[in-house]
Structure 1
Amino acid sequence: MLKRTYLLSSIALFVLPMTAHAQEAPQPDDAAAANDEIVVTGTAGGGINRQDAAFAITSINSDAIDRAAPNSTADLFKVIPGVSAESSGGQNGANIFVRGYPSGGDAEFVTLTVQGVPFFSPPTLSFLENTQLIRIDETIERVEAVRGGTGALFGNGQPGLTVNFVQKEGGRDFEGLVKASITDYGDLRGDMLLSGPFGENTSFMVGGYYSSGEGIRSPGFTAEKGGQITGNIRHDLNKGSILVFARYLKDRGQWLLPIPVIRDGDKVRQFGNIDPGTGVLAGPETRLAVLPDGTRTDLADGRGADLINLGTNFDYEIGDGFQLRYRASYLKGDADTTGLVPASTATTADAYAASLGSTVGSLTYVNGGQAVAGSQQVIRAGTWIVRKQIEDFTNDLAVEWDSGNNKFTVGAYYSDFSSNDQWNLGNVHLLTAENHGRLLDLTLGNGQVATNNGYTQGSFFNVNAAYDGREYAFYAVDEFQITPELRLDAGLRYQNYKATGTIENNSSVDIDGDPDTLYDNGTAVLNGTFRNIAYKKGAWSWTAGLNYDFSSSVGAYVRYNRGNTNPFFDNLRDGIFVSPRVDNFEGGVKVRTDLVSLYATLFHTKFKGLSTTVITDGAPIASVGGARSTGVELEGQIRPVDNFSIAFSGTWLNAKYRDFFTDGGATDLSGNRVQRQPKWQWRVTPAYDIPFGDDGKVSLYSTFSYVGDRFSDTANVQSLPNYFKIDAGISVDVNRALSFAVTADNLTDKVGLTEGDPRQLGGGSEVVNARPILGRSFRFSAAYKF
């Protein structure tokens, strides 16, 4: 069990000597060139000019965040080349894919950090991807994202995508912001920020948000509610600094799941009255339920988190050329999920009865009892509950020696994390296939009772488990400026991973012993017996990169890295003990002038020991093997005239499975395209500023984005057609204090699919379940700075 005192004692260790060392700290040079973009993610020390970095990194400042107008934390990642971010699941429950890394969903190869330290070491667990644990708000200064490259050395050593959230800090003057926003579908949000000095060498920042509403896919009740508050205190020492930060998040939103749509080749049409952009099966009749085992549920609980995150950054010069760096984070809380998950495609009640070997005897509404015709379109959907109590203590201690042209860093990383899980999956209702589906009761013509209070089935999979994991790592990095133009960096990391768990077993029973009451046959129940899992393994990772500056404006780099990840708790529970290994080769060109900024990267990645798991027919089904991907990433901005810019990003990706097997090794999927990741995707954002008065400005911007065709499944049977989407916005800075903005998401109300139904594998019929992007919406906001 983790102890809260871990982090508190770590902070106290460095706070105590502060009074002895406090002096007037040197202030940053305000005359630094505006285009010297310093990034800290993926580096051993205090940062590097992006133009000198021998790895692919994207930096998103607060203005770019505003123009991206993300609907969720994961939605911001759409601006990062090489990344496919599906935020159609709502505020939480995103699927994020990186550079062809094979994955079935969630965010398996994405590490999130705050101030350079991971706040939950496992990048993902089933029903938990880490964007669920943090929100974008006004306290964020910028977001940095490293793809591949040095990510295998730092943090938790995950070699895919590392995203670092850098907080705003207080300055010499008191400053603040209050902001209010409302959407055209009625959701409200308020943001605030306050920062300033807290003594001669100390500053503070505090801010956050609160929001409430039904969401764009309104279920007829408040489904989006909660907020986040973040604060930090920085104290400058004579030879260093300490930053202590804290964040409390209590927020939940509706878990948006596939809905029925009609597929006509590559065209997608509306099914019945379920609008692809705003429709949802959940509604007032399914919100509150008593499951067959007596558990009470509320779909308004949705998916979210209730947690606290504490952390510290400590930097201190311990001797001539020697720098001590310490990063720590402690997180504890709940990350729960409640959702209405489709269990079948839409069909008529007559066809459903025929699939049970009979005809419709009687079909009635559960609420009201009125008779329903057998021609009624129906769908089966289950109330799934996943409860997770998570905890994590992570710290990273490094010593850096800087001797002129050479900088050598050694460090140690330790993380202790746990997850206690209680799942109840299944609990399938028979519903009318319509917006806000209504509960139905069905008795078959042969006398068998197919439903009980709308339930056709009880639980089909339960989990009662307690998992613990620990990671120890040691790393060494050397950065050598060989000549003024040529820079070499190289490093290695050894990581040891240990995981244990205790899991209660399931039994399948007929609850009442009557085979003619179909609704409780084959119900999964926890049976009071347990099994243990244990895993332990160590692995080496390494990387080397060369960067050459042809001039102050043009540079190029090459890099190789090998990285490793470990099987997650869910893999071990399902008997999958493979450890993914990633070999990545990349090279890039960087151009930065007054006219244009361009970052182009070519990469080739080889994967071994990968697994993807989908819960199908009541049990996890795994596919295991390897893959290879080759791609090109482009990112940049053109500034042809004053006040006008065109930002762009794009990816071409060729990713295919190699020696990749499913069905227990019976089916070889080698040569198939890696699921859910398009060959082509791109974004173009023109923006024009119109100054007026002394401090006024009108900004107009729009984003044109394209996502190419993909396959929803590893077998490449469920195709997802390409789509083109337009967003737009206008902001007005009346003066330095007052501003207004309007943003439009999916301006043309385009229907684009991000996934098929992972629980209904195969080609399906004309009516299929899929998760479309969100429909057209507008957000209006007003802000006052002081």
Structure 2
Amino acid sequence: MRKLNKVSLAVKNVLIASSMAAVASPLLAQDSEAEVNEVAQSKEAFETIVVTGSPGGRTQIESAMAVTSVDSEMIKDFQPSSESEVFRMIPGIQVAGTAGPGGNSNIAVRGLPVATGGSPFVQIQEDGLPTVLFGDIQFGNNDYWTRFDSSVERVEGVRGGTAGTFASQAPGAIINYISNYGQFDGGLVKLTTGVGYDETKVDFRYGGAASGSVNYHVGGFYKKGRGPLDAGYVVSDSMQLKANLTKYLADDASYIRFLFKVADTQEPNYTGSPALAKASKNADGSYNISDIREYPGFDGRDKSNYSIYNQNFKVVNRQGDLERVPLSGISTKSVAIGTELHYEFEDEIILDNKMRWTSMSGSFNSSFLSLNPVGDLNLVYANGPKTGQAYDKPYYDGNVNVNTNISDIGSFVNDLTLTKEFYVDGNTLSVRGGLFYMTQDIAQDWHPNRAYKELSGDNPAMLELLDDNGNQLTANGIAGYSDAWGNCCAREVDLAYTDTAPYISLDLDTDMFTVDASVRRDTVKASGWAVGSSGTPIDVYVSGEDVTLPALVADGDSEYLDYSVSYNSWTVGGLYKFSDNTSFFVRGSKGGRFNADRQTMSGKINADGSLTQAGEVAAVDFVNQYEMGVKNRGDVLGGYYTFEMTLLQGDFTQSAYEPTSTPSCPSGGCVLDNEYESQGAEILGSLRVDRLSLIANATFTDAQARAAGGGEWVEAWEIPSLTYTMSANYEVTDELIAGVNMTGQTDTYARGSLDKYEGSTTWGASVRYAPTENLEFSVTGYNILDDFAVRSPGQIINVDESNNTATLFVNPTLGRTITASVKVTFE
């Protein structure tokens, strides 16, 4: 009999209700969702069957690896403010969660810092297949393309070990969004609105049995508004529809599944804010920062640099003409069609094949924030109510307005496995062989403009720069086209990567222990071309403003890629079963990840398309990890608990090229070669006693870094020594549930003159009231104490040593944010 878990939450728009959905046992599909929830509440989390990064068929407590399953109800209770904050619920995943709903987060894992951007060691999957092959595609990070909605039953996170052998490009972790497959009849519609700010979201889902052997599920959402950091115009305008249909075959165990997804999203990404703080100077000249608070006129808790006066800007397009583009944050468009075949032959042979074709594109149109002293600059307001007046503030925002067209980031992926079980003296030996194949296209053109903007959180205006004679040097605040980061980044690329990876695993299961080993060999082939900036800027006349500005266009040096790289990943692990309620595991592994588009235009590719010697060294980053853990569950105070702890140690060397301006590369164009070591612990626990339920996790990390080849070890930057989350709910009555949650981190080391900044904790709360079985009203609050909580550092701009006050650039969480919703469930 088939066995699948719980259900999910809510999400989607009503416009596109055509595609089908599905999956789950026709036997179980006759049960109602209410009955399932009742059973699920008495069920222990360790009984979840792990399907991510493992041979499959084992529960969490039986799996010799660090794996966490976060279901939709847990995510609802935690109330994440963005997609990446969901990942903070998974021990070992270290992400600030401050970039906003559009994405562009730097997702670290187990103390492995993000040297450039994105998620170099973390793969995000949907239903067991990657959304993009590489997690750190420039202006295409893997968190752009996935949205949690009611079509998702749970999110599984596997860290280390088998992540590197059961997936490509994921030696750190796999985060897998697993769909609801319609295993239970029922659905819901949920309407959520912001309280005191403009944002409305409609979620929906419906699924169940279409016949005795066919299940389906449809879910999605529509969202629109200005967002909690009021942009002055609509910055959120998103929809997603996911559907699946499952046909069970004659043996009632094999099945064929069809999956469909369409998404059209536009969401803001937040790029930080100014702040003030107390500064204490260290002996080496660096500063410790404490008492971080809002900056006058720009409170990052409820303000951003989105503005009605900067809703769009001009770029010099690929044809060399001026073109106006919207400042729309991160936009995505995708259509995906997939299949999944599970077929059980005689003689204990099982075939699994997952396939997905995806057409995907988007754009990155954002106004980054920085603080620059005005000094002797002659600046006047370019627009807004103060047009023409002198700008008299001490700092201006001099960061880039960037437009990146992501014309193609589509892919095709297929993962085929055959599994055979052998029985030896009452023990089970499982042999699994697989072949993974994925093609990934990356076609983009970049347009980063130099810009002058007012430093304000209230519809900041653009600023004009004047020379000593009063002549205008900018056009509506733009000082140069595509030259914000020097000559690097008026760029156009059309790249293709093909990853072919055979893999094999052996798994021995006895009454007392399990032992497994697996190896994977990836061969990645790179092709395509990249064109850099022309060496000499061209002059562009801006009619209407009577200004001629410099511009760079993608008409410079070219690279043509024609190379391949092969490398091996392996892992060996074992688990000892002390009892049905306690297990202990150990694991060692070495996993590789390929440096893809971040190698281009870095001097590491020869004229014939092959890699230089330096390019061959930098082509693959390897991560070594060693871990041991304990998992335990039992009864306590008339209820039950679960507990797991993993101790770990790891190291890796990373070589990357950073063309843009980042904290690790302030002027852009840096080759970053560093070694890293990390050790720590991951803890996850849950408790259910009577009407109280609680789940909490913590990640302890001691991470060190140094230049490759030697040097002094220093604290790794932007990796907190402790991160933690907690969510608790209490059923006051059968109709009323109250909840509280928190997420936070301790002091964190930064870079440059900012030695470290203080930790913070953000608290949330919720109340849910269900007057009838099928109707629920709820109010949720994020950061209910309205703390100025900083999770990701920026830099020190200035220190006034007369009063030990520092002016900073930081990345704070949202301030107090309240939402109200009504949900209707039905069968």
> Does the pair score TM above 0.5?
yes
**How far is the alpha carbon of 1:299 from its aligned partner?**
4.3
* Aligned amino acid, residue 71 of structure 1: S
Conserved 8 A contact 2:651-2:678 = yes
Correspondence for 2:7: none
**How far is the alpha carbon of 1:43 from its aligned partner?**
4.8
Correspondence for 2:442: 419
| 2:447 aligned counterpart, secondary structure | strand
Partners of 1:181 and 1:447 lie apart in 2 by 51
Residues 1:646 and 2:664 aligned together: no
Residues 1:681 and 2:723 aligned together: yes
Correspondence for 1:586: 627
1:73 to 80, 83, 87: 83
Give the 3 Å change call, closer, same or farther, for CA 352–590 of structure 1 in structure 2: farther
| 1:678 aligned counterpart, secondary structure | coil
* Aligned amino acid, residue 550 of structure 1: F
Partners of 2:303 and 2:421 lie apart in 1 by 59
2:678 to 619, 624, 629: 629
Partners of 2:331 and 2:518 lie apart in 1 by 37
- Which stretch shifts more, 703-712 or 78-87? 703-712
Residues 1:363 and 2:363 aligned together: no
* Aligned amino acid, residue 219 of structure 1: A
Describe the superposition over 1:89-110 as per-residue Cα deviations: whole angstroms up to 9, x where unpaired: 1112222111011213322211
* Aligned amino acid, residue 288 of structure 1: N
**How far is the alpha carbon of 1:180 from its aligned partner?**
0.4
Correspondence for 1:169: 181
| 1:58 aligned counterpart, secondary structure | strand
Residues 99-498 of structure 1 mapped to structure 2, 5 A cutoff: 99-104=110-115, 105-171=117-183, 173=185, 175-184=186-195, 185-239=197-251, 240-265=254-279, 266-291=290-315, 294-342=321-369, 344-348=370-374, 351-353=375-377, 360=378, 363-366=380-383, 369-372=387-390, 374=392, 377-388=395-406, 389-404=408-423, 405-445=428-468, 449-460=472-483, 461-481=489-509, 483-498=510-525
Conserved 8 A contact 1:381-1:431 = no
Residues 1:552 and 2:580 aligned together: yes
In structure 2, the gaps of 5 or more residues are 1-24, 280-289, 484-488, 605-614
* Aligned amino acid, residue 723 of structure 1: S
1:34 to 36, 43, 68: 43
**How far is the alpha carbon of 1:82 from its aligned partner?**
1.2
* Aligned amino acid, residue 59 of structure 2: N
Conserved 8 A contact 2:262-2:334 = yes
| 1:526 aligned counterpart, secondary structure | coil
Give the 3 Å change call, closer, same or farther, for CA 211–393 of structure 1 in structure 2: same
Residues 1:775 and 2:818 aligned together: no
Percent sequence identity over matched residues? 21
Partners of 1:150 and 1:455 lie apart in 2 by 49
Partners of 1:452 and 1:651 lie apart in 2 by 49
**How far is the alpha carbon of 1:508 from its aligned partner?**
4.1
Partners of 1:670 and 1:195 lie apart in 2 by 58
Residues 501-650 of structure 1 mapped to structure 2, 5 A cutoff: 501-512=528-539, 523-527=551-555, 530-575=558-603, 577=615, 578=618, 579-595=620-636, 596-611=641-656, 613=658, 615-616=660-661, 619-639=668-688, 641-650=689-698
* Aligned amino acid, residue 707 of structure 1: Q
Conserved 8 A contact 1:234-1:241 = yes
* Aligned amino acid, residue 39 of structure 1: I
Give the 3 Å change call, closer, same or farther, for CA 494–739 of structure 1 in structure 2: same
**How far is the alpha carbon of 1:132 from its aligned partner?**
1.2
**How far is the alpha carbon of 1:670 from its aligned partner?**
4.1
Describe the superposition over 1:686-717 as per-residue Cα deviations: whole angstroms up to 9, x where unpaired: 3211343xxxx32211113321122344x574
Conserved 8 A contact 1:745-1:776 = yes
| 2:579 aligned counterpart, secondary structure | coil
Describe the superposition over 1:197-240 as per-residue Cα deviations: whole angstroms up to 9, x where unpaired: 22221011111110100011112000011110010001111240
| 1:478 aligned counterpart, secondary structure | strand
| 1:101 aligned counterpart, secondary structure | coil
**How far is the alpha carbon of 1:612 from its aligned partner?**
6.6
Conserved 8 A contact 2:759-2:791 = no
Give the 3 Å change call, closer, same or farther, for CA 504–645 of structure 1 in structure 2: same
State the TM-score, normalized to the length of structure 2. Answer: 0.84
- Which stretch shifts more, 570-579 or 159-168? 570-579
| 2:107 aligned counterpart, secondary structure | strand
1:751 to 782, 788, 793: 788
Give the 3 Å change call, closer, same or farther, for CA 474–762 of structure 1 in structure 2: farther
Correspondence for 1:729: 766
Give the 3 Å change call, closer, same or farther, for CA 670–245 of structure 1 in structure 2: farther
Give the 3 Å change call, closer, same or farther, for CA 561–272 of structure 1 in structure 2: same
Partners of 2:324 and 2:763 lie apart in 1 by 38
| 1:336 aligned counterpart, secondary structure | strand
Correspondence for 1:86: 96
Residues 1:50 and 2:78 aligned together: no
1:741 to 768, 778, 797: 778
Partners of 1:534 and 1:656 lie apart in 2 by 36
Conserved 8 A contact 1:508-1:523 = no
Conserved 8 A contact 1:109-1:161 = yes
Correspondence for 2:705: 657
**How far is the alpha carbon of 1:25 from its aligned partner?**
7.0
Partners of 1:573 and 1:37 lie apart in 2 by 49
**How far is the alpha carbon of 1:273 from its aligned partner?**
1.2
Describe the superposition over 1:32-88 as per-residue Cα deviations: whole angstroms up to 9, x where unpaired: 993352233345544311111110001011210111222232110111111112221
* Aligned amino acid, residue 778 of structure 1: I
Describe the superposition over 1:293-336 as per-residue Cα deviations: whole angstroms up to 9, x where unpaired: 65444445210311012222211012211111111122111131
CA RMSD of aligned residues (A): 2.8
State the TM-score, normalized to the length of structure 1. Answer: 0.88
**How far is the alpha carbon of 1:753 from its aligned partner?**
2.1
In structure 1, the gaps of 5 or more residues are 1-23, 354-359, 662-667
Partners of 1:279 and 1:629 lie apart in 2 by 36
**How far is the alpha carbon of 1:510 from its aligned partner?**
4.8
Partners of 1:394 and 1:720 lie apart in 2 by 42
Correspondence for 1:706: 744
Partners of 1:419 and 1:763 lie apart in 2 by 43
Partners of 1:716 and 1:379 lie apart in 2 by 20
- Which stretch shifts more, 279-288 or 145-154? 279-288
- Which stretch shifts more, 39-48 or 79-88? 39-48
Describe the superposition over 1:245-277 as per-residue Cα deviations: whole angstroms up to 9, x where unpaired: 111111111121122222323122222211120
Partners of 1:618 and 1:524 lie apart in 2 by 17
